[in-house]
């Protein structure tokens, strides 16, 4: 397996992608490079020119069977060890911050067709996270610690993009009741209708994440991505970020994509009916025409409280953030006691002033 580090042509320092400026900026000399320049640079240089180096393994390293396979590499900038599990396609050196890109995990069937570059920065992600927890004074203190917040990391997550076609029908009875009063009596008339709706919808690039490591509901929650901004994949966009390769195949994810398409068609059909159907019959089928592989940008933060991970995710393109902030039981008890004490204090003050 080989690693690649994208380096500045001017000074040979690391060259990460700057999400705010949407170009590559050298961390040492400040040189900036546009997309066109980077594409020309990576096309012209051979693997040797861009510092590809084989990993150095420790012979005495034993990996427990119940843990994922870990590979050790040497950082090309400082010589420190870099660790990557079997699904990581780019990782960081914890000492100098350089990004090691594992190109062999981005080739063949694992080579993405598209990528959406980050447009939201780490500062944007931190601001969004702080906004999410603002006013939640009963949250565990771990959520406000700066050393935890600084661990927000940009990750390119593997997604399958499906084109498909859903068609079908729904039918059932709809009861329309009308009531009126006449003298001492209330009359009710029930009109019974047989409703039938049929239709079809075509879909393009319906996303489904292809990694077991990331929760499906969480990834669905940060959508939509602006898929008209998809770029042809180039590994240079990974510089400065983590990335993963898929471990859930397109066939396995197809059920999720089909379900989303069918649910969208059902919602469209039901929206044309006034009221609700009694015991409706639904017959909707989906066919997948095409699937493509892409990497999409997400800012991630895991905060651990009492050994439990609370995950926050922000769409690295649109800035939409999701995550759950729990209530600290100790803080809630203290706050309740404070309210009780405050109530007694106010009662005693009123008694003293007026009685």
pLDDT at 86: 74
Mean pLDDT computed over every residue of the chain? 82
From residue 347, alpha-carbon distances to 40, 160, 343, 352 in Å are 77, 63, 6, 9
Over residues 112-130, mean pLDDT: 93
pLDDT at 173: 93
Q: How confident is the model at residue 71 (pLDDT cuts 50, 70, 90)?
A: low
First-to-last C-alpha distance (Å) of the chain: 84
pLDDT in tens, 312-344: 999 999 999 998 776 766 777 776 777 788 787
pLDDT in tens, 241-295: 989 999 999 999 999 999 999 999 999 999 999 888 998 999 999 999 999 999 9
pLDDT at 80: 55
pLDDT at 353: 75
What whole-number distance in Å separates Cα of residue 188 and Cα of residue 179?
A: 4
Answer yes or no: are the C-beta atoms of 313 and 299 closer than 8 Å. yes
What whole-number distance in Å separates Cα of residue 337 and Cα of residue 192?
A: 58
Over residues 337-354, mean pLDDT: 77
Longest dimension (CA), the chain: 96
- Which DSSP symbol is given to 79? -
Omega within 30 of 0 (cis) for the link into 233: no
4 or 88, higher pLDDT? 88
Over residues 220-248, mean pLDDT: 91
pLDDT at 354: 75
Helix residue spans in 20-167 (DSSP H): 35-44, 122-133, 146-149
> Within 13 Å, how many C-alpha atoms sit on residue 237's CB side?
25
Above pLDDT 70, what percent of the chain? 82
User: Which of 11-15, 94-98, 223-227 tops mean pLDDT?
Assistant: 223-227
Query: Three-state DSSP class for 105?
Result: helix
Exposed/middle/buried for residue 286 (C-beta within 10 Å: 0-12, 13-18, 19+): buried
In this structure, what are the phi and psi dihedrals at residue 91, rounded to the nearest 5 degrees?
-145, 175
Other residues' Cβ atoms within 10 Å of the Cβ of residue 288: 17
Where residue 12 falls (left for φ over 0; alpha for ψ -120 to 50; beta otherwise) is: left
pLDDT at 92: 67
Over residues 77-87, mean pLDDT: 63
pLDDT in tens, 146-195: 888 888 999 999 999 999 999 999 999 999 999 999 988 999 999 999 99
Answer yes or no: are the C-beta atoms of 273 and 174 closer than 8 Å. yes
Using the predicted structure, report yes or no on whether residue 120 has a pLDDT greater than 50. Answer: yes
77 or 283, higher pLDDT? 283
pLDDT at 306: 76
Using the predicted structure, report yes or no on whether residue 238 has a pLDDT greater than 80. Answer: yes
pLDDT at 351: 76
pTM of the model: 0.78
49 or 264, higher pLDDT? 264
Answer yes or no: are the C-beta atoms of 98 and 92 closer than 8 Å. yes
pLDDT at 137: 66
Over residues 295-320, mean pLDDT: 88
What whole-number distance in Å separates Cα of residue 250 and Cα of residue 228?
A: 21
Long-range contacts of 309-312 (CB under 8 A, 24+ apart): 310/143, 311/215, 311/218, 312/129, 312/132
């Amino acid at each position: 397996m080989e690693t690649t580090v994208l380096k500045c042509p001017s000074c040979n320092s690391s060259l990460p992608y700057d999400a705010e400026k949407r170009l590559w900026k050298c961390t040492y000399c400040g040189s900036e490079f546009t997309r066109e320049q980077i594409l020309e640079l990576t096309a012209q240089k051979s693997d040797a020119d861009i510092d590809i180096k084989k990993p150095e393994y420790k012979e005495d390293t034993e990996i427990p069977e119940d843990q994922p396979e870990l590979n050790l590499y040497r950082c090309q900038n400082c010589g420190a060890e870099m660790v990557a599990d079997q699904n990581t396609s780019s990782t960081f050196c914890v000492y100098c911050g350089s990004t090691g890109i594992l190109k062999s995990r981005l080739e063949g069937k694992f080579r993405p067709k598209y990528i959406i570059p980050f447009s939201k920065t780490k500062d944007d992600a931190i601001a969004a996270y702080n906004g999410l927890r603002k006013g939640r004074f009963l949250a565990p203190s771990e959520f406000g610690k700066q050393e935890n917040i600084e661990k927000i990391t940009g990750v390119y997550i593997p997604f399958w993009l499906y084109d498909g076609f859903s068609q079908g029908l729904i039918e059932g009875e709809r009861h329309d009741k009308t009531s009126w009063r006449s003298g001492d009596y209330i009359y009710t008339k029930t009109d019974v209708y047989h409703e039938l709706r049929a239709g079809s919808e075509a879909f393009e690039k319906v996303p489904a994440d292809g990694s077991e490591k990331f929760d499906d509901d969480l990834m669905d929650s940060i959508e939509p991505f602006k898929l008209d901004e998809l770029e042809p994949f180039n590994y240079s966009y990974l510089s400065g970020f983590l990335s993963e390769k898929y471990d859930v195949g397109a066939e396995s994810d197809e059920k999720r994509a089909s379900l989303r398409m069918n649910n969208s068609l059902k919602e469209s059909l039901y929206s044309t009916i006034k009221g609700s159907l009694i015991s409706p019959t639904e017959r909707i089928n989906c066919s997948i025409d095409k699937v493509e592989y892409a990497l999409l940008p997400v800012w991630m933060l895991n905060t651990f409280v009492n050994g439990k991970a609370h995950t926050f995710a922000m769409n690295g393109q649109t800035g939409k953030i999701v995550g759950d902030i729990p209530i600290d039981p100790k803080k809630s008890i203290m706050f309740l006691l404070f309210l009780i004490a405050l109530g007694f204090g106010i009662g005693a003050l009123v008694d003293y002033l007026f009685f």
